[in-house]
Amino acid sequence: MSMIFNPRRLGIAVAAAFSLATLMATPSFAAAKVQRLVTPGGIEAWFVQDATVPVIAMEYAFGGGAAQDPKDKSGTANMVASLMDEGAGDLDSAAFRERMERRAIELSFTAQRDYLRGSLRMLKEHRDEAFDLARLAVTSPRFDAPDIERIRAQIMSGLRRESTNPNSLATRKFLQVAFGDHPYSRPSNGSLTDVQKIGVDDIKAYKQRIVAKDTLKIAVVGDIDPDSLAKLLDKTFGGLPVKADLVPVPEVAVTKPPQKSFLTLDVPQTVITFGSPGIKRNDPNFMAAYIVNHILGGGTLSSRLYHEVREKRGLAYGVSSQLIWMQNSGLWIGSTATRADRATETIDTVTSEVKRLAEQGPTQKELDEAKSYLNGSQMLALDTSSKLAGALLQYQLDKMPIDYIEKRSAIIDAVTLDQAKAAAKRLWADGLLSVVVGRAPQAAAQPVAPAPKAN
């Protein structure tokens, strides 16, 4: 197990637990007109017709996600998502996979905090077969016992690895600290205890409650005309139940800082996860918060945390932070890793820099440079039909207008220095929640004990 810190690892881990919005677009797609397509059967989709390459990409989502897991069976949504493309209708898992591979069709499902998402990509010439496989997956997945046990074993294996991974442990503990007993505190992929208890009835019941037309959002990008797409969408999703049966998920405020937690784990590097209450996507000050996060720790070499933690003091390989928003809460979270004997200095450095930005706000130069970066990077971020479809789906889930791509730069440019200062104060004036996973302070200077041999 490598202990070298990857500053992108946190984003990958949290992205599996939370719904993350894409805020960028490429030049070719930025000028494309996003159409609102309503089928004869009443199914709505956002659609960009693009014949540059003979490929069609569809991203879609049903409301619910891991937040709808039973309290004592976390990981149910993840198991459902993992099984929906493992055989459907008259096709068992092997036959279903063979049909996808024969036509190079890409079909998958993922469980996020608030949504069960699906992804479909195919060559234009195979669109009928691809959409038919998607129809089978969403309307009549088999959930055969051998497939359930195979997927369960894979998930359990991953959970065992996570139980000794400091990054996973830090993220899990941080979510528990931040959200208490709320569904958002539970891991999307479940726990070793809970996953073992999930039965076929739980899986079928979850799918029946969640996969319905009233919460369905769809985005399609590719080489297909509107009439043909409308027919395929009606055929694919028209047979679903009209209304989902969702359990209400309450609004939740992230635990107020400051608060520190420590987990002992005998590893060479100490992992530090830190954060604070964030801001929801529909908040009028969201973009100001998005910009000041970029200034503080947005993952670039020019961020304040990168400069203070790595360049100035050499405490860590990397450090980054991000805003995460869900339907019922908002969170700001960051992570780094350092030598055990420098963990305290690293936490103090992060805390000091966060406090300084909260009290003084960014400079006008920092604000201007952040705006320039965020506006310029949108020209490079979405270079495929699948990425654009994913962004358009996220805009719908975030309740953005259909012309958001066109408006985004103007929204960024409109953020004033006073608004940025207010956002920084709002995010960080109370300090930080922090979780440290590593060797106990008194053992920090000692050699790392060898890992026990597996039985």
Non-local CB neighbours of 375 within 8 Å, separated by 6+ positions: 409, 412, 413
Counting every residue, how long is the chain?
455
Judge residue 14's burial from the number of C-beta atoms within 10 Å of its C-beta, 0-12 exposed, 13-18 middle, 19 or more buried. Answer: buried
Tokens of 95: 């036959």
- Say how far apart CA 57 and CA 388 lie, in whole Å: 9
Q: Check for a shared fold between 21-165+179-237 and 259-380+401-443.
A: yes
Closest CA to 324 of 138, 174, 140, 430: 174
Tokens of 155: 């998930």
Note the CATH architecture for domain 21-165+179-237.
Answer: 2-Layer Sandwich (3.30)
Report whether 451 contacts 165 (CB < 8 A): no
Q: Where are the domains of the chain?
A: 21-165+179-237, 259-380+401-443
Report whether 447 contacts 62 (CB < 8 A): no
Specify the CATH number of the domain 259-380+401-443.
Answer: 3.30.830.10
- Say how far apart CA 402 and CA 393 lie, in whole Å: 10
Q: pLDDT per position in the chain (455 positions), as tens? A: 333 334 333 443 444 334 333 333 334 455 578 999 999 999 999 999 999 999 999 999 999 999 999 999 999 999 999 999 999 999 999 999 999 999 999 999 999 999 999 999 999 999 999 999 999 999 999 999 999 999 999 999 999 999 999 999 999 999 999 999 999 999 999 999 999 999 999 999 999 999 999 999 999 999 999 999 999 999 999 999 999 999 999 999 999 999 999 999 999 999 999 999 999 999 999 999 999 999 999 978 889 999 999 999 999 999 999 999 999 999 999 999 999 999 999 999 999 999 999 999 999 999 999 999 998 887 676 778 999 999 999 999 999 999 998 899 999 999 999 999 999 999 999 999 999 999 976 444 444 444 444 43
DSSP output for 253-282: PPPPSPEEEEEE---SEEEEEEEEE---TT
Closest CA to 278 of 351, 175, 386, 404: 175
Q: Which residue has the tokens 């991953």?
A: 158
